[in-house]
Chains A and B, each alone.
With several copies, the nearest count.
Chain A
Amino acid sequence: MRAAIIVFPGINRERDMAIALAQSFGRAPRMVWHRDSDLDGLDLVVIPGGFSYGDYLRCGAMAAQSPVMQAVRAHAARGGYVLGVCNGFQILTEAGMLPGALLRNAGLRFVSRDCHLRVERADTAFTAHYQRGAVFRAPTAHGDGNYFADAATLDRLEGEGLVALRYAPPTGNPNGSVRDIAGILSPNLRVLGLMPHPEDLVDPLLGGADGRPLFDSLAATLAA
């Protein structure tokens, strides 16, 4: 199984993501600079968190227009797996690969604290190592994580079971996301975008390993 992390200028959680992937996959992912658009032979493409292009204009807007996104789209069209975390999620929505948009947090402040996430379905490559309905903890760090989509889109997402993760008690919804949505899937279940950072909670020494099953799920799926 081969994984790559796309690095846009201003991305800053690529190292965290690489550590989490290496831990579960047993080998380091490839780091792909955004101007190199060769994604051939990869199983998984990850767009990590950070502030691509400084979050100027709109988070993810400029990265979404980058040439490498054509290659990411092609990878997804081939049935490849794509994971977008935080800024990565914003980039996927800006690129139209996932529906909806991420608005300013309802509280208008950057939110950096742990949140709790409920696993809405456990039959995906990303969530297989969680139980359905299980609640796990993950750090958040974003100013624009307020998920929005129009009612028709939301109904379709829910109807097709494409909501992967929702904010859950005790910490609840940190940013005003509609219907507590924290992460959504593409119709073929191979593209996941989510705001929180499971990659920053994969080591008990750093406060827990709640995020690790997500990467273990991917490793198991891709090895199969």
Chain B
Amino acid sequence: MKAVVTVMLKPGVLDPQGRAIGQALQHLGFAGVGEVRAGKVIELDLAETDPARARSQAEEMARKLLANTVIEGFRVDIA
């Protein structure tokens, strides 16, 4: 199975990269861009074939390594 772990900074943690991207988009002439948040995505090929078990594996990986839960939240998608 493929698991996609998306890691974003928690609300309330300053995201200078997101802000810089927002400003750059504005300079490039894109109007109507509100908040921009930047995060990471990690795609994993898992040997596990059961979606529920794959999800819980990926969640554990995220908790242990892929995300720093002091500052980041994460979401797992199974495909």
A binds B: yes
**A65 to B16, Cβ gap below 8 A?**
no
**Max chain A CB contacts within 10 Å: which of B14, B16, B21, B66?**
B16
Would you call A54 and B17 a contact (CB within 8 A)? yes
- Closest chain A residue, CB of each to CB of B19: A56
Q: Mark A85-120, 1 if CB is under 8 A from B, else 0.
A: 000000001100001110111111000000000000
- Are B71 and A65 interface neighbours, CB within 8 A? no
A108 touches B68 (CB 8 A): no
CB of B59 to closest CB in A, whole Å: 16
B27 adjacent to A65 (CB under 8 Å)? yes
How many chain B residues touch A (CB < 8 A): the figure is 19
- With CB as the reference atom, state the residue of chain A lying closest to B10: A150
Query: Of B12, B64, B70, which is in contact with the most chain A CB atoms at under 10 Å from its CB?
Result: B70
Give the CA-CA distance A65 to B20 in the complex, in Å. Answer: 13
Also in contact, A65 and B64, with CB within 8 A (given A57-B38, A100-B70): yes
**In the assembled complex, B31 has its CB within 8 A of some CB on chain A:** no
- Contact A57 to B65, CB < 8 A, known contacts A65-B28, A100-B70, A103-B71: yes
User: Once bound together, how far apart are the Cα atoms of A211 and B23, in whole Å?
Assistant: 37
Whether A61 contacts B20 by the Cβ 8 Å rule is no
Give every chain A residue within 8 A of B12 (Cβ-Cβ): 150
Is B79 at the interface (CB under 8 A from chain A)? no
Flag if B68 contacts A65 (CB, 8 Å): no
Chain A residues at the B interface, C-beta cutoff of 8 Å: 53-54, 56-58, 61-62, 65-66, 93-94, 99-101, 103-108, 146, 148-150, 176
9 A-B pairs within 8 Å (CB atoms) are namely A54-B20, A56-B38, A57-B38, A57-B66, A58-B68, A61-B24, A94-B68, A106-B16, A146-B16
Task: Give residues in B with beta carbon < 8 Å to A.
Answer: 12-14, 16-17, 20-21, 24, 27-28, 38, 40, 42, 64-66, 68, 70-71
